[in-house]
């Protein structure tokens, strides 16, 4: 009889557990497989039931309440039944971690579980606000050639950025674009400005494109929660264009929060030394010498908020 009661309450406890795990979009189900505390509670409960059933079958006096072992077993069963009826559900629910729920559930918790179309609208807006930030951005400028008559450098600009979402369990998918408008025309008979490639998470967008006035190319930033590019989006592109020595600005803007940004200049001229002059509005300009065949970091910034002008430096011959 005791065994049947145990089995009945075990089934009831299992059904109750499944019901709790399936609520709120399966949040507790995901929690169970990511939180070792939940696993300990569940596996301990299963082990207790197995030990109880084994004790019932293996010990003849287990059901004889007139003996010590029978009385102890009856007390054990009553405690186990109470735990299966009340304690198991309470233990699991009390270990729930709201930060591991779906983003929409967390957003509604932030809005104090209010309901209505205005709340639905704001939850959707929160999706848009939490788009992405730039974890790291590296720009490498390679000086390929120098036109002495026009006093211009032919340069290659390769930028690689790693974007991440503010929430590591939320898929990010939003439109973006790159664009550039050259300040100087190339010398007569020389190569035009061009966008050589745009690559997003290993996938190329478009072909080589030459331009005179401006170039722009749209794409989508996608940050998955699993797979090869889990939790990040790698964007890489390269421009080739001419810049005037000494006077043309090398500047950059920031459209989203950037944690780390660096700019390197590599000198591939055969015998000429390049000087990078970094403009400083609050003090004297800084000069960095770049010898032939060498590469120097000229800009390094961290924790950057969106703004129009991050830096300004000029390239010239020493």
What are the structural domains of the chain? 2-96 (no CATH), 131-317 (2.60.40)
Question: What pLDDT sits at residue 1?
Answer: 52
Question: What pLDDT sits at residue 138?
Answer: 97
Mean pLDDT by 10 residues, the chain (318 residues): 52 52 48 65 85 87 84 86 78 67 76 86 79 94 96 97 88 91 91 96 93 93 89 96 94 92 96 94 91 96 92 94
Within 10 Å of residue 92's Cβ, how many Cβ atoms?
A: 22
Question: What pLDDT sits at residue 27?
Answer: 47
């Amino acid at each position: 009889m005791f065994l049947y009661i145990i089995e009945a309450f075990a089934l009831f406890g299992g059904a109750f557990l499944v019901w709790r795990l399936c609520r709120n979009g399966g949040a507790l189900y995901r929690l169970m497989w990511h939180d070792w505390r939940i696993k300990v509670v569940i596996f301990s409960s299963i082990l207790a039931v197995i030990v109880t059933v084994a004790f019932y079958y293996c010990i003849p006096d287990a059901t004889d309440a007139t003996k010590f072992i029978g009385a102890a077993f009856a007390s054990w069963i009553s405690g186990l039944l109470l735990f299966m009826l009340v304690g198991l559900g309470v233990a699991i629910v009390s270990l729930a971690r709201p930060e591991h729920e779906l983003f929409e559930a967390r957003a509604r918790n932030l809005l104090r579980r209010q309901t209505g179309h205005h709340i639905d609208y704001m939850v959707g807006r929160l999706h848009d606000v939490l788009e992405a930030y730039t974890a790291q951005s590296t720009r490498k400028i390679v000086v390929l050639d120098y036109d002495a008559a026009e006093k211009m450098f032919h340069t290659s600009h390769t930028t690689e950025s790693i974007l991440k979402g503010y929430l590591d369990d939320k898929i990010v998918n939003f439109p973006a674009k790159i664009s550039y408008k050259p300040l100087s025309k190339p010398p007569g008979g020389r190569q035009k400005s061009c966008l050589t490639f745009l690559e997003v998470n290993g996938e190329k967008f478009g072909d080589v494109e030459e331009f005179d006035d401006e170039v722009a190319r749209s794409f989508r930033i996608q940050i998955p929660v699993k797979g090869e590019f889990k939790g990040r989006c790698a964007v890489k592109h390269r421009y080739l264009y001419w810049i005037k020595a000494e006077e043309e600005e090398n500047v950059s803007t920031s459209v989203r929060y950037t944690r780390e940004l660096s700019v390197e200049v590599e000198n591939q001229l055969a015998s000429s030394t390049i000087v990078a002059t970094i403009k400083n509005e609050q003090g004297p300009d800084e000069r960095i010498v770049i010898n032939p065949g060498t590469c120097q970091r000229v800009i390094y910034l961290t924790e950057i908020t969106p703004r129009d002008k991050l830096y300004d430096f000029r390239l010239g011959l020493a």
